[in-house]
Chains A and B, each alone.
Chain A
Amino acid sequence: MNVRAHLHRLLLPVALIAELAYAFSGADPILPLLVIPVTVVGWWMTGPQPERAAPRIVVNLLLAVICLFSVWRFLSASLNVTVFADFVALLLTTKMLDRRRARDAAQVITLSIFLVIGAILSSNSIEVGLLMLLFIFVCGYTFMVFQIVAASEAAGEVSGTTPDTVMSGVGTRRGLRSLVGLSLAIGLPITITVFIVMPRQIGNDSFGAWGNASVGSVTGFNDEIQLGRSGLISDSAEPVLDLRVTDASGEVLGSVNRRFYLRGAVLDSYNAETGRWSGVERGRRGSSYTRGGVNSRGDFIGVNQWPNDWDIEQAITIRNAADSGSHLFALWKPKQIKYDGRFVYTREGTEMRIGERSGRVDYIVRSKVSDPAASLPENSIEITAEQRQEIEFDSEPLKQRASQLIAASGISPDPAQRSWADDAEAAGLLAASFSRSGQYTYTMEQTAPPSRAEPVEWFVLDSKEGHCEYFASGLAALCRSIGINARVITGFVAADFHESSGHYVVRASNAHAWVEVQVGPELWRTFDPTPSADLNRVHEPKKTLIANIQRFFESVEFAWISTVVGFDAGSRAVLLGGDGSEDDDHLLTTVERTIERATSRGPRVVFSAAIRGVIAFLVVVVLGMTLVGAGATLALAGWRGAIATILTLIGLRPRDA
């Protein structure tokens, strides 16, 4: 084996794997398209003949331009992982044009490592994860070959010649294989030990909100509805969210025929002039996120009255929350939430949002979903005039339309004449009017209403064509026009159930809008006015071969997200023989609780992280060295030698025997 040529061959996969990880991590697609071909060309150019490397002046000029460009980006867009990764990718590409000696190879390997770190800081998707694992193997092997070439160059530098015995490398490949095997045998247990032992649920962005990587596409969720615009609704099948639903006993709920409505934004404020529904933050009712929480112990926090009265649990992974303040989607009505970080929520838990974190977000919500209508009070509780004014939708044509629809069932359009049960029934009649009559058509390509036309009136009374936002707006407007409190909800419909993994994949195209109607004091019921046939057509999973392959891949991806990416303190406790509960009592939990108590009065998070880190590191070193010592003794001395060593250590065999 020619060791130098072997190193040259290895450098291409090292650089390419790093660049592919970078490309899959959500980088601007232009840069990967630039750097990957240039890397291949550079590798080919700087092959066995170093004189084919690009002239030094060209390389130095390129490096200067890259540095200036990156500094400009740092200053204009602030220092973030994306800018860092772009910078490293460009440096790596340039270095591929400038490989002359072993030192240049070392720089290529180092830059590749930095690029992979940049990629995993941006994304924890399965593609990036698998590429990282592949990179670790290839890079480790390349480093071994590099050490041999570097040794030969170190010897050749002084004498001016490279001794013949250096590069012949007879039998080197076979020897390296055995060393790689030994390294894996030693390194793998240490890696797994570190992964398991390192403390979780601490840190909480103590050093800033960076490194919280995504595992997929940005949700692209918009918490406002703007009516009156033409355009096409996105039908992207890109997964944005994973949902696993269980009942109180832990039984997995869900089937291909069952849908769940994951609420996001609550839009209860409508501006007729602009045709915009907006949420509580900007709404006229003045509600705000007055309650907040930070959960560093992994406990459930109550967000509603009677928090222990729940019947369904949702484990949710938002693959890539676009920016801070993203909604925490959940089924109505949320009672408890377990989220490792800061979050805020409104009274009654109508909305929950995360604070200062983007990327992948994992949380569990416990909700009470059983229908409140079963226990509706018979007697109406008066809604005050002020409240009435707040909910009223000022449109006489819509009021007439709503009155006609409910009058046929003997329900009075006068709020004073109705009970809560009447309101619920009226809302049901109004919702059904959109699908039962057959007059309304669902379309994903929306045409704009005529100028000066009020968009909701135009949809309900004239065009009768629209997408879910129009249907939801229409029902909410009809309800409000006759004094029934209603609000528009935007979120996702979970309809794509993967039986193999027992979870729902929620895609960008599953974004949906529906309505919640008040059917009692603090009681709200969900109504979806979108015709169910159209709703099924839009959200039903495709059955094509490609779609099935994609679903298989998504099941694997979910396993990756839930086991590797989503590994947390609870998973660790279960792995170590506990049940993941608060009362779980094993060594690591005990140590962490002790530290937590000791540091609870100071700058807790940082100290806690530091102390736990040091303890974990020491544990790893001791365990690692013990394992390594045993492995090495075995590898070097064989079984007999290992037994002899052990006997010597425990004093049953003289040292000089």
Chain B
Amino acid sequence: MTAVPAASQPMSVDRRYQANAGAFLYTAITVFVAIGAINSQNNLLFIALGVAVSAMVVSGLISGAALVAVSIRRDPIGATRVDEPISLRYTIENRRRLPAFGLVIAERFAGEKKPRNAGAVAMLPGRQALRATGAIAIPQRGVHRIEELQVASGFPFGLLKKLIAVESAAEIVVGPRRVTLRPGKLPRLRGAARVAQSEASASPGHEEFIGLRDYVPGDSARLVAWRPTARLESMVVRQLVATSPPSVTLSILPHDPAKPWLFERSVALAAAAADAAVKAGVAVGVQSGVPSLNISPTHDVSDGGLLLRSLAVMTPEHAATLSASRKPRAVTLSIGPGGDLDPARLDQLIEFGAEAPEFQAGVETGARTA
């Protein structure tokens, strides 16, 4: 799975000034100095007032002039896990002679007013371009859509912040929190190996059709089910289960909607189980009630892969649909209350490390979709 930069969209640039609390404090001090100067005719206060006024003008002018010819581009974005910083790379260019200082690069996500700071540049020399790296850590699973890329500078005195905002849409897929299962917690992997061995001996190379699902980039063309595609006017592919290689299907059981954190734990456990399975040479698939989220067994459990994208966007409603629709076939690893991996027994299943306190305390919120 790969984040999709919206490179084809036209980029519009918006330039604006923003006053902050410091600016109001500064203005208050300036007014205080002005009153003091007029009241007492203290000439040093008049000088201080002159400096205060000139600092306002200089601040607005230099920060504005410094950014007037600055442009920025973002490289395509990868995928990440909850609370793990994702590396962002930018090309930032200054076409004027005046250098720009103290540039803060920020990304504004859909539905959010306040942008998230991603990186900073100490100095951008005049008539030069440089590569800058940034990072953003996202505390919520899901597909996060970036709407705007911003560069701001309060330089030289921080009284006025000049900001340029570039319309630069992109998505970041944030997979489940990374946790590690304790050894010996997945006995069904051995069962999957046994099943595979017996099926392989009975009908070598056989693949069993288990249903249809939406097409996702990367699917082989031979899997396209042309008739249903024509009927539905949306491309769908046949979903096959290879019976010969050892595989396991992850199935997240229904959860109590009042306890969303249990579902978050289950999704994290599912991702951990997928990691463990692939390490054990067992392919992993995902089974849900939504065709687009069903994943054929695969060994690709990378952050950008289809499997983790499926887990990234899965919600408790998807699991409930699965439960009502059909029973999974082959070797299935059930995750959820009363399942093979029960999130209520999290402390027995994983080693807690540097995970967020919200995760450990069980107050984490659910996934977010773009």
Name A124-164 residues within 8 Å CB distance of B: 124, 128-129, 132-133, 136, 140, 143-144, 146-148, 150-152, 154-161, 163-164
Q: Evaluate contact between A175 and B154: CB separation under 8 angstroms.
A: no
Question: What A residues does B117 contact at CB under 8 A?
Answer: 154-155, 157-159
Q: For B156, list chain A residues within 8 Å (CB).
A: 140, 143-144, 147, 179, 183
In the complex, A528 Cα to B194 Cα: how many Å? 126
B residues near A, CB below 8 A?
25, 29, 33-51, 53-55, 57-58, 61-62, 65, 85, 96-99, 101-105, 116-123, 125, 130-137, 153-158
- Does A187 sit at the interface, judged by CB under 8 A? yes
Can you identify 12 A-B contacts, CB atoms within 8 angstroms?
A: A120-B48, A158-B118, A159-B85, A159-B137, A172-B122, A186-B58, A186-B61, A191-B47, A200-B41, A202-B38, A211-B36, A621-B53
A interface, CB within 8 angstroms of B: 3, 110, 113, 116-117, 120-121, 124, 128-129, 132-133, 136, 140, 143-144, 146-148, 150-152, 154-161, 163-172, 175-176, 178-179, 182-183, 186-188, 190-195, 198-203, 205-208, 210-213, 340, 564-568, 609, 613, 617, 620-621, 624-625, 628, 632, 635-636, 638
Main secondary structure of the interface of A (DSSP, over half): helix
Closest to A170 in B: B123
Q: Is the CB of A198 within 8 A of B37?
A: yes
> A151-B153, A159-B134, A203-B39 are known contacts. Are A175 and B44 too (CB-CB below 8 A)?
no
**Chain A residues with CB below 8 A from B123, complex form:** 148, 169-172, 175-176
From A641, which residue of chain B is reached at the shortest CB distance?
Answer: B97
Query: Would A143 and B158 count as touching, CB distance under 8 A?
Result: yes
CA distance A53 to B40 in the complex (A): 40
Complex: A147 Cα to B38 Cα, angstroms = 32
Bound CA span A117–B43, Å: 12
Q: Could you tell me if B44 and A132 are in contact, using CB atoms closer than 8 angstroms? A: yes
Given contacts A121-B45, A154-B117, A179-B62, 5 further A-B contacts (CB under 8 A): A155-B118, A155-B134, A186-B62, A213-B42, A621-B57
Contacts of A564 in B (CB 8 A): 43-44, 47
> CB-CB < 8 A to B85: which residues of A?
159-161
* Residue numbers in B under 8 Å from A113 (CB-CB): 29
Q: Which residues of A contact B98 (CB under 8 A)?
A: 179, 182, 635-636
Most-contacted residue by chain B among A178, A191, A201 (CB, 10 A): A191
CB distance from B101 to the nearest CB of A (A): 6
Name B22's closest neighbour in chain A (CB-CB): A106
Measured CB to CB, the nearest residue on chain B to A612 is: B38
Also in contact, A144 and B101, with CB within 8 A (given A117-B48, A168-B122, A198-B37): yes
B157 touches A120 (CB 8 A): no
Q: Give the Cβ gap from B51 to chain A, nearest Cβ, in Å.
A: 5
Please measure, in the bound complex, the distance between the C-alpha atom of A154 and the C-alpha atom of B152, giving whole angstroms. Answer: 11
Take A132-B44, A148-B155, A163-B132 as given contacts and tell me if A194 and B101 are in contact as well, using a CB distance cutoff of 8 Å. no
> Which residue from B39, B45, B103, B133 sits with its C-beta under 8 Å from A208?
B39
Given contacts A147-B154, A154-B117, A636-B65, is CB(A194)–CB(B40) below 8 Å? Answer: no
Closest to B44 in A: A120
Complex: A283 Cα to B99 Cα, angstroms: 74
Question: Nearest chain B CB to A540's CB is how many angstroms away?
Answer: 34
| Pairwise interchain contact A140-B99, C-beta atoms closer than 8 A | no
Taking the nearest CB of chain A, how far is it from the CB of B287, in angstroms?
Answer: 36
Cα–Cα distance between A168 and B120 once the two chains are bound (Å) = 11
Whether B130 pairs with A147 at a CB distance below 8 angstroms is no
Contact for A163 among B43, B46, B50, B120, CB less than 8 A: B120
State whether A121 touches B101 (Cβ < 8 A).
no
B50-A195 in contact (CB<8A) = yes
A211 and B47 alpha carbons, distance in the complex (Å): 14
Residues of B contacting A198 in the complex (Cβ-Cβ under 8 angstroms):
37-38, 46, 49-50
Distance in angstroms from B178 CB to nearest chain A CB is 15
